[in-house]
Structure 1
Amino acid sequence: MRPKIPQSVLVVIHTPALEVLLIERADAPGFWQSVTGSRDAEDEPFEVTAVREVWEETGLDARAPGHVLTDWALENVYEIYPQWRHRYAPGVTHNTEHLFGLCVPSRVAVRLNPREHRAQGWLPWRDAAHRCFSPSNAEAIAWLPRLGGVASDH
């Protein structure tokens, strides 16, 4: 298996009312997150990565009618958790994450990939931000009222 590229996407899936879909990692129970995933190639556009990862992890088509995928033009650089560094080339310790929002018309059923995730839930944005194990994911969700759609104080 070739090493993962330390460039990824984070896709915050949400409704216009700012309800956020979180999924729980299968390999780390209690670790809730948005859709994430690495580029397959150095030159793969981030939007292509985002569309693929949304499909692989949730079964949702980010380009379906009524779905709006938005490049937030924001990036985070963070230290890769030690338990996941073996997936990268030796010496790689940091990842650059490109942020997207995917607005869906309403809470929708998703099809989780059981190798990657074990549970799902739709939460008001503030609750979702508090549940995320990743500080960068929580911060991205906190941007929703400004970047993601109809502001709501849920």
Structure 2
Amino acid sequence: MITRLPPKIPESVLVVIHTPDLQVLLIERADKPGYWQSVTGSKDMLEEPLRETARREVAEETGIRVGTAQVPDEALRDWALRNVYEIYPVWRHRYAEGVTHNTEHVFGLTVPAGTTVTLAPREHLQHVWLPWREAADRCFSPSNAEAILHLPRHLLPPRSVAR
């Protein structure tokens, strides 16, 4: 018997995780080696607040917990950027029939340098910290690259980041 997962909700988050000195975390997709990206993920339920989606996806994909002494709640910021893009055909089977576009909400997460990253092995192969412009160049997704290029405009004041 084949069990089908419920279709994905075409509303997602993109979380640019970075240090105060603009080193950006990128993770390599397990299902598409060579595809580097920031943390991304869809809402689990229509009612799930986007901030909670971002917190959940960061924890699931990197092991980083928002709301701790090291990474306080205020380190996660909604950048008020929205991208609507066509879902790559290779991933459309995950959505309801006829769904072709996704709305992506961009967040930034400031973490201290040296923050431990623990990847979800079924989702990602490896991670790297790169200077922000180099990270933007490595992203396979144009919307992810563009979000990273916005990073300097969305920095937290240095005293807001745990050390």
User: Is the structural similarity TM-score above 0.5?
Assistant: yes
Extract unaligned runs of 5+ from structure 1: none
Q: How does 1:70-109 map to 2 (within 5 A)?
A: 70-109=77-116
Residue number in structure 1 paired with 2:139: 132
Q: What is the TM-score normalised by the length of structure 1?
A: 0.95
Q: Which of 27, 43, 48 is 1:44 aligned to?
A: 48
| CA deviations over 1:107-143 (Å, ceiling 9, x no partner) | 3221100110001000000000000000000000000
Larger of the two Rg values belongs to structure: 2
- Taking the aligned partners of 2:142 and 2:68, their CA distance within structure 1 comes to 30
Extract unaligned runs of 5+ from structure 2: 158-163
- 1:53 maps onto 2:51 in alignment: no
Q: Which of 6, 10, 17 is 2:14 aligned to?
A: 10
Matched AA of 1:128: A
- Taking the aligned partners of 1:95 and 1:65, their CA distance within structure 2 comes to 34
State the 1:65 CA deviation: 2.0
- Taking the aligned partners of 1:55 and 1:129, their CA distance within structure 2 comes to 22
| CA deviations over 1:72-128 (Å, ceiling 9, x no partner) | 111100010110000000110000000100000113221100110001000000000
Equivalences, count: 150
